[in-house]
Structure 1
Amino acid sequence: MAEDSVQLADLSEEDIKLQFITPAIQAAKWDFKDIRMEYSISDGMIKLKPGSNKAYRDTPKKADYVLFINGTIPLAVVEAKNNKKSVSHGTQQAKEYALKIGAPFAYSSNGDAFHECDLLNGTEKDIPLNQFPSQTELYERFKQSKQLNPLQEKLIKEPFCTGANIKAPRYYQRNAVNATIDAIARGEDRILLALATGTGKTYIAFQIVHRLLSAGVKKRILYLADRNILVDQSIQQDFAPLEKVTHKIHVASEKPETISSYQVYFALYQQLVGDSGEEDHYSQLFSPDFFDLIIVDECHRGSANNDSQWKCILEYFNSATQIGMTATPKETKYASNISYFGEPVYTYSLKDGIEDGFLAPFKVIRYKINIGDEWRPVAGQTDKNGQIIEDRIYNNSDYDYNIVIESRTEIVAEEITKYLKSTDRFAKTIVFTPTEDAAERMRVALVNLNSDIVKEHPDYVVRITGSDEIGKGKLDYFIAVSTQFPVIATTSKLLSTGVDTKMVKVIVLDEMIGSMTEFKQIIGRGTRLLESEGKTNFVVLDFRNVSRMFADPKWDGPVEVDEEYNPENKRGDGGEITPPQPPKYKPIVDKNGCEARVEQKTVSIYDPNGKLLQVESIVDYTKRNIKEKFTSLEGFIKEWRASKKKNSIREFFFDKGINLEELKAEQNLSDVDDFDFICHIAFDSKTKTRKERANSVIKTGFLDKYSGVAREILETLLDNYASNGIYEIESSEILTLPQFMKFGKPIKIAQSFGGIQGYNQAFMELENAIYGDGSVGI
């Protein structure tokens, strides 16, 4: 320790940094712009505590110092500790951060010296405070260990694109860009990036393109996608800084003599290939060596498959470097993007994104419908059209695929509506159904159940499917953060991948999913975070037990090459086994022929690894929590009556993850007071409606004690209670509602009772009258 160790021991970690570590780094001649302090690595995982609806963040991870070369490659992480700790105390933390961000050196210091961890050769040592390595020295060590070629060095010096409207790259985005550019500099011409949905693949593509263009390494770039919205989103958002050199290809109107004046081209596979799948469209416009870089967006959707109609584009421009981007690297017997592009040069999974706090966590509500596992028609049963229904056992794999059970559609729509009504009726929701027809039936059912909103806002529920041109026209409005409608989108496949649905808070699974690739893509529709708009997590409503796939080892696990992969095997559009053809006739069974109902509902919360943190029946969970808090009916009644603000009891349940309004809706008891409902759930008491309690107050003659305006005010409060409940009239805003305006401002209303104290006393007596002696229904 230093001679003045007593004084050093009194210094905080911040003092150690200011007085010892920062001066030592600056003395080593590090460029000021390459020293980043309090460098953000993660935002802190958002967690849904079991039994809680409220999301909260873990502590974000920040490195005390990250030292760069040319602002592109992180060379070192330095962690500071106070002098009461050893020099090497922060080594593990520094190593963890260094490995995460791709820095080859990690340092720890307590102000006495530095402890160096060289991750390139696996050695550690102490070095004096005044001998911290210079920027040139560390770069030379890195350069020699990696044996950098001249092109690699040139590209390292090319900075990321920054500016007022361009966000700084997150650590994994920087890693992905650096890994890709390094692979190109090493001469690789087929490159795969695997990053979870919502992690900014297009932003990463933009930074790759910007650096390669700026360095003059690539001159003409083609960005390929299979949907217009993906192309348009890319041009308008992430690639906006390059707008002067970008061009969206419209094959029919392009001319070879003018099309060569751009640098970054965007195109749809379908437009380039045309219906025939021949080269004519693109070969007439471009020579095979026209592009020197091609970026393939969402390459899991089959662009590189051997039997893909679109692979001819990649083969025609074979001399270009080709980068595939996907959220789900695919390797099966029927499809492979790994066999074409190679192993990913960088992977950032959904698990990584949730743990870092960049992606939203989720909970799953699983519904068991009585006919889910088995339904069999009675002998000779006909459908609503008079057609005989084939006599066999039907289950979740049949409904909407081979047979339509109308009451099943109705019950699913009812449960979706109940959930939204009990939480947020304007939460963006995607309902995934088996077919486009099923999406239409679901749309109609949801419209009828939400007619109170639909009559004012016809686009509250829309169908957005491939063949529905009007529905597809609503897609931009659905995904836009700034537009409220549509709120609910029913679909089959169109919204399962690629679309930037930032505000989706509810994902409804009402189709069978056999592909882990598709399952990850669908779950990915909800993973985007938008905390400024209140989006911190999402919920999955599962009506076909599809969420069992979270238990599959392939859920966000490593990609393993399937040795049986054969590019000659045929596949469906999803890259899996081609699904069976639908029957020539699909029976339609009405409610008289089969009545579906929900038998059980459970809530599950998963960690990022897909491990269950909690699973329990909502009713059982609620009953258990009530009895843990209130050991007896008498104890609950006593606390309810003693509570000055009944909302405090509701907040207790909310913090435990119990939404009383949602649960009441489930039990068809929305008109029941929370007081009665709690007694009913936990202690088997009969219930009284709020209207019954309000009528009881009138019968007791309580209001006869008051006259004139004071009585009218109390009657209005009682009417509000009957309609909306105790929390409404307890609110400090109650006297500002329109129905009270005729009595004047709140201060004037209070004067009708002799002042604030008099009003408060009258209100307390009204509450006592509502609950009487605390009795429950008998």
Structure 2
Amino acid sequence: MTGKEKKQLSESDICDLYITPAIKDAGWDQFRQIRRDVTLTPGPVIVRGNMSSRNKKKKKFADYVLSWEPGIPVAVVEAKDNTHTVSAGMQQALGYAEILDVPSAFSSNGDAFASHNKVPIDDEIETEIPLNAFPSPAELWQRYKIHRNIADPAEALVTQPYHEDFAGKEPRYYQAEAINRVIEAIAKGQKRLLLVMATGTGKTYTTFQIIWRLWKAKAVKRVLFLVDRNFLADQAYTNDFKPFGSVMTKIKNRKIDPAYEIYLGLYQALTGTEEADKTFKTVSPDFFDLIVIDECHRGSAADDSAWREILEYYATAIQLGLTATPKETEYVSNITYFGEPVYTYSLKQGIEDGFLAPYKVVRIDIDKDLYGWTPPPGMTDDLGNALEQREYNQKDMDRILILNQRTKLVAKRVMQLLNATDPFSKTIVFCEDIDHAERMRKAIVNAAGKLAIEHPKYVMRITGDSVEGKAELDNFAASDSTFPVIATTSELLTTGVDVKTCKLIVLDKTVNSLATFKQIVGRGTRIDEEHQKFYFTIMDFKKATAHFRDPDFDGEPVVIFEPDPDEPPNPPDPPCGDDDNDNGGDDGDGVKKFYVSGVEVRIIAERVEYYGLDGRLVTESYVDYSRKQIRQEYASLNDFLTRWHDAKKKEAILNELAEYGIEFEKLAREIGSGYDAFDLICHIAYDQPPLTRRERANNVKKRNYFTKYGAQARAVLDALLEKYADEGIISIENPKVLRLKPFDTMGTPMEIIRNAFGGKELYENALQELEEALFEQEQSA
């Protein structure tokens, strides 16, 4: 083929005719070692308003990934067509090599290979090699071993095959990297390991593959997977760990049966305060070869922790801690115990890659929270208890002072958001305690109205003391189950429960712990494309989302050995009982509560923020945000005017824009009173000078537009103009408008329509003509 003909070939042709044959001729197995067109990341989801889309320009897509064994990548190759130079794809290849942490990157246009080697040969990092000189698998595997510091004796364990999933599931790039990092560390003799992976990134699946490879390689025989919630053990047993089959058991009845090899255990079932409860001591300290501790941030590294007692008993075992939130405080440090993480995959990275859902934050301030409330002298609560004469503020709400109107206001605002988007969006409402969760359940039932009547399980309290609620936990978590839609809770749903379709997290709970906050946020981070869940909303009533401002929210954990004496430690979260053990008492923390009805509360401020491309929350003014969304829907003023005048009912347009989160009452407060939605849209989005509703109504009257109608019809139309001037376009489109004053003095709606206009169709035509007259000057814009 001539050079000219070669330059006419597509990139795919170059791969088929030149690059793939060259790699195969070097000894690479086409089916086991060569993967083409590999999507490493799908690209981040961008969310504004209530719309979302993937930024496909940020998708990471490797032309070739070469592996020594499936799941153990050692090199990447980027292809270009022959109009490019040999090294034109090198920068892309290096980006992919960095993601996979492999030492070898190649670029080719079909003439030769450009090679970048992090393990330099003769001090040359980048070289160009002929097509027929591509490195063999053994050569690139040796480079990989040097790069990852893998000694020859460790090779057999490091290359132990993955479990080939019966559903054809392959580990994502970061899961494979996490698995390989752990296996490599164990092969080097490391006994304590920490793996940090954000919630929703598949820690349990990753753990299964780690255990499977170690178990199959006979590096370990007996394994204990420790969790602190029963349903976490059940999930692992029936899902990811299922391939272990008959060699696996769940520890029950405080008995460790030595006949099995893979054990799933609830730490509460293995230990207790009494020596007789310490089930873990019924076998010898060397019984387990590997112990995996799920969610090890929750106290497992504390000196007095039950988990720590178990770990110390099985001190000779390999111990792997899993967490989404490395915990480093004066009192608890999983890094001090386990050592630095062998691998970290953060929430920020997961969102940037597009594997995790970004979030929208709606911060809401309530007057009594922000300004405080002091009861009048001598005031008592609903039970006749005297209220202390002091200022109650946000930290007291629903812990000490229960304002029933506040609970109702929160419930109403939650339902307002759901009704404006999707009333069947899975929602978790985090409350201060079980009592608060029950009151919130009742308030949401009342705010939901017809939905709660038609669907008794529309909202349920899912807390540790509620048998009925916990029985619905699986249904709430299941993507294909509609009910329950809303779960009110305090602690039970903060961790572990996988609710992939959760679209709304409501925080009416004081959250001082950064680790707890990250776990709560993690309830919404899963993407479920099948059910069109690409992002989630956090509605915050208690300023909990201030944690997003913390530089440590998604940063590197720091071990704190000695606290600054001048800086008090971050206060613990208010005690509210463990949902798995709480019996539902209101006063479990010894604090007396006051229930007060009749105190008016109101929302005084709202702010909407979005996850930005840099991982920070972006705040836009409501006007700026609305302008962008309106222009997204209608690119030009003419586009909008055409749609407006073609719409039989203008409400349809306003409803479309409401789906973006645009509320015209709020816009009117920003721009000025007296303007209808039409003028707000034209002014905000297209810089048109606005007219008030009164000015538009008067312009119609001056043109004496309706002289063709009889006296009774003109009276109705004049009254409709007045109604428009007072209330706006939606008010006159409402079919019930003719029941209101002053129309009620003109007859019944049917009489008005029949006698004044000659029938419903003629009345609707007249109303349409009135609307055209109101906006006539824009018709010709």
In which range does the TM-score fall when normalised by the shorter chain?
Answer: 0.7 to 0.9
Instruction: Determine if contact 1:117/1:123 at 8 Å carries over to the other structure.
Output: yes
Match of 2:533, as an amino acid? K
Q: Closer, same or farther in 2 for the Cα pair 1:211/1:9, shift >3 Å?
A: same
In 2, Cα distance between the equivalents of 1:337 and 1:398?
32
In 1, Cα distance between the equivalents of 2:767 and 2:419?
27
| 3-state secondary structure, aligned to 1:176 | helix
Which position in structure 1 is the counterpart of 2:419?
A: 421
| More displaced stretch, 16-25 vs 629-638 | 629-638
Match of 1:595, as an amino acid? E
In 2, Cα distance between the equivalents of 1:449 and 1:651?
21
Match of 1:187, as an amino acid? G
Q: Closer, same or farther in 2 for the Cα pair 1:10/1:186, shift >3 Å?
A: same
In 2, Cα distance between the equivalents of 1:339 and 1:446?
44
1:329 counterpart (326, 330, 341) = 326
Instruction: Determine if contact 2:71/2:171 at 8 Å carries over to the other structure.
Output: no
Which position in structure 2 is the counterpart of 1:747?
A: none
Which position in structure 2 is the counterpart of 1:123?
A: 125
Instruction: Determine if contact 2:433/2:576 at 8 Å carries over to the other structure.
Output: no
Q: Closer, same or farther in 2 for the Cα pair 1:166/1:466, shift >3 Å?
A: farther
Measure how far apart 1:94 and its partner are: 0.6
| 3-state secondary structure, aligned to 1:561 | coil
Measure how far apart 1:53 and its partner are: 2.2
Match of 2:645, as an amino acid? R
Q: Closer, same or farther in 2 for the Cα pair 1:636/1:102, shift >3 Å?
A: closer
In 2, Cα distance between the equivalents of 1:661 and 1:263?
63
Q: Closer, same or farther in 2 for the Cα pair 1:310/1:658, shift >3 Å?
A: closer
In 2, Cα distance between the equivalents of 1:190 and 1:425?
47
Match of 1:308, as an amino acid? S
Which position in structure 1 is the counterpart of 2:71?
A: 72
Which position in structure 1 is the counterpart of 2:99?
A: 100
Q: Deviations over 1:575-618 (max 9, x none)?
A: 87989995542222212xx211111222111226542333334x
Q: Closer, same or farther in 2 for the Cα pair 1:526/1:25, shift >3 Å?
A: same
Alignment of 1:469-618 (within 5 A): 469-564=467-562, 582=589, 584-591=591-598, 594-607=599-612, 609-617=614-622
Match of 2:390, as an amino acid? R
2:199 counterpart (184, 197, 200) = 197
| 3-state secondary structure, aligned to 1:84 | coil
Measure how far apart 1:178 and its partner are: 0.3
Q: Does 2:311 match 1:311?
A: no
In 2, Cα distance between the equivalents of 1:623 and 1:144?
55
| 3-state secondary structure, aligned to 1:419 | helix
| 3-state secondary structure, aligned to 1:477 | helix
In 2, Cα distance between the equivalents of 1:210 and 1:635?
59
In 1, Cα distance between the equivalents of 2:276 and 2:119?
50
Q: Does 2:40 match 1:35?
A: no
Q: Closer, same or farther in 2 for the Cα pair 1:19/1:550, shift >3 Å?
A: same
Q: Deviations over 1:602-640 (max 9, x none)?
A: 2111226542333334x7854897699999999987862
Which position in structure 1 is the counterpart of 2:712?
A: none
Instruction: Determine if contact 1:55/1:537 at 8 Å carries over to the other structure.
Output: no
Q: Deviations over 1:2-46 (max 9, x none)?
A: x94333332222222122111110111112210000111001111
Measure how far apart 1:405 and its partner are: 1.4
1:370 counterpart (367, 372, 396) = 367
Instruction: Determine if contact 1:47/1:58 at 8 Å carries over to the other structure.
Output: no
Q: Closer, same or farther in 2 for the Cα pair 1:528/1:158, shift >3 Å?
A: same
Instruction: Determine if contact 1:427/1:504 at 8 Å carries over to the other structure.
Output: yes
In 1, Cα distance between the equivalents of 2:469 and 2:344?
35
Q: Closer, same or farther in 2 for the Cα pair 1:90/1:190, shift >3 Å?
A: same
In 2, Cα distance between the equivalents of 1:627 and 1:6?
47
Normalising by structure 2, we get a TM-score of 0.82
In 1, Cα distance between the equivalents of 2:112 and 2:636?
63
| 3-state secondary structure, aligned to 1:434 | coil
Gaps of 5+ in 1: 668-672, 719-762
Match of 2:618, as an amino acid? L
Measure how far apart 1:145 and its partner are: 4.9
Q: Does 2:398 match 1:400?
A: yes
Q: Closer, same or farther in 2 for the Cα pair 1:38/1:644, shift >3 Å?
A: farther
Match of 1:219, as an amino acid? K
In 1, Cα distance between the equivalents of 2:155 and 2:526?
35
Instruction: Determine if contact 2:103/2:147 at 8 Å carries over to the other structure.
Output: no
Which position in structure 2 is the counterpart of 1:757?
A: none
Which position in structure 1 is the counterpart of 2:356?
A: 359
| 3-state secondary structure, aligned to 2:773 | coil
Alignment of 1:676-715 (within 5 A): 685=693, 686-687=726-727, 688=731, 690-692=734-736, 701=753
Measure how far apart 1:343 and its partner are: 0.8
In 2, Cα distance between the equivalents of 1:457 and 1:662?
32
Instruction: Determine if contact 2:637/2:682 at 8 Å carries over to the other structure.
Output: yes
Q: Closer, same or farther in 2 for the Cα pair 1:152/1:119, shift >3 Å?
A: same
Match of 1:480, as an amino acid? A
In 1, Cα distance between the equivalents of 2:293 and 2:635?
61
Which position in structure 2 is the counterpart of 1:19?
A: 17
Instruction: Determine if contact 1:506/1:541 at 8 Å carries over to the other structure.
Output: yes
Which position in structure 1 is the counterpart of 2:285?
A: 288
Which position in structure 2 is the counterpart of 1:242?
A: 244
In 2, Cα distance between the equivalents of 1:630 and 1:168?
42
Instruction: Determine if contact 1:419/1:662 at 8 Å carries over to the other structure.
Output: no
2:644 counterpart (640, 644, 650) = 640
| 3-state secondary structure, aligned to 1:553 | coil
Match of 2:768, as an amino acid? N
In 1, Cα distance between the equivalents of 2:516 and 2:309?
25
| 3-state secondary structure, aligned to 2:552 | coil
Measure how far apart 1:331 and its partner are: 0.8
In 1, Cα distance between the equivalents of 2:161 and 2:633?
58
| 3-state secondary structure, aligned to 2:76 | strand
Which position in structure 2 is the counterpart of 1:349?
A: 346
| 3-state secondary structure, aligned to 2:258 | helix
Q: Deviations over 1:310-346 (max 9, x none)?
A: 3111111111101110000111112111111111100
In 1, Cα distance between the equivalents of 2:756 and 2:109?
77
Q: Which has the higher contact order (CA 8 A, sep 6+)?
A: 1
Which position in structure 1 is the counterpart of 2:708?
A: none
Q: Closer, same or farther in 2 for the Cα pair 1:515/1:147, shift >3 Å?
A: closer
| 3-state secondary structure, aligned to 1:344 | coil
| 3-state secondary structure, aligned to 2:119 | coil
2:53 counterpart (49, 52, 55) = 55
Measure how far apart 1:454 and its partner are: 2.1
| 3-state secondary structure, aligned to 1:301 | coil
Match of 1:691, as an amino acid? P
Match of 2:343, as an amino acid? Y
Measure how far apart 1:69 and its partner are: 0.3
In 1, Cα distance between the equivalents of 2:375 and 2:602?
17
Instruction: Determine if contact 1:67/1:74 at 8 Å carries over to the other structure.
Output: yes
Match of 2:605, as an amino acid? Q
Instruction: Determine if contact 2:33/2:69 at 8 Å carries over to the other structure.
Output: yes
Q: Closer, same or farther in 2 for the Cα pair 1:117/1:651, shift >3 Å?
A: farther
| 3-state secondary structure, aligned to 1:120 | strand
Q: Deviations over 1:710-745 (max 9, x none)?
A: x7xx69xx9xxxxxxxxxxxxxxxxxxxxxxxxxxx
| 3-state secondary structure, aligned to 1:300 | coil
Which position in structure 2 is the counterpart of 1:726?
A: none
| More displaced stretch, 61-70 vs 152-161 | 152-161
Instruction: Determine if contact 2:36/2:63 at 8 Å carries over to the other structure.
Output: yes
Normalising by structure 1, we get a TM-score of 0.83
Q: Number of paired residues?
A: 703
Which position in structure 1 is the counterpart of 2:211?
A: 209
| 3-state secondary structure, aligned to 1:372 | helix
Measure how far apart 1:305 and its partner are: 1.4
| 3-state secondary structure, aligned to 1:133 | coil
1:182 counterpart (181, 184, 196) = 184
In 1, Cα distance between the equivalents of 2:645 and 2:130?
69
Measure how far apart 1:550 and its partner are: 1.2
